[in-house]
Homo-oligomer: A and B are copies of this chain.
């Protein structure tokens, strides 16, 4: 089963991905940006149920540090900041799609039982 999966003595690829996407809200943020493209801070906040100001800020900053998302600030008053996926972030789209596909499949399976 394992031959194409297990990197003997080299679990880094999997661990690396895990490190990037783990974080209470990161995948949700990535998913949202994948769906909505370029969006303002407030829009993200309103679309992620239950997230607090503090958590959104910190998660966005971490994703930015990992070059998954891009932060664009407009020099105006009141401030306007938009976030979007970087190329690296967009390269996560297959993963996101796989997650969607799996979730869909499961709901179909449940219906059949």
Bound: A98/B17 CA distance, A: 10
Across the interface, do B94 and A98 meet the contact criterion of CB distance under 8 Å? yes
In this complex, what residue of B is CB-closest to A87?
B109
A7-15, A52-60, A69-77 - the one binding chain B: A7-15
Q: Pick from B1, B5, B104: contact of A13, CB below 8 A.
A: B104
Count how many chain A residues have C-beta atoms less than 8 Å from C-beta atoms of the other chain.
42
The residue from B14, B16, B31, B91 contacting A14, defined by CB atoms under 8 A apart:
B31
- Asked whether A13 lies within 8 Å of B97 as measured between CB atoms, the reply is no
A99 to B98, CA, bound (A): 10
**Closest chain B residue, CB of each to CB of A8:** B35
A112 touches B (CB below 8 Å): no
What is the distance, in angstroms, from A67's C-beta to the closest C-beta of chain B? Answer: 10
| B106 lies within 8 A of A14 (CB) | no
Q: Is A88 an interface residue (CB 8 A)?
A: yes
**A103 interface contact, C-beta 8 A:** yes
| CB within 8 Å of B: which A16-36 residues | 16-18, 21-22, 27-28, 31, 34-36
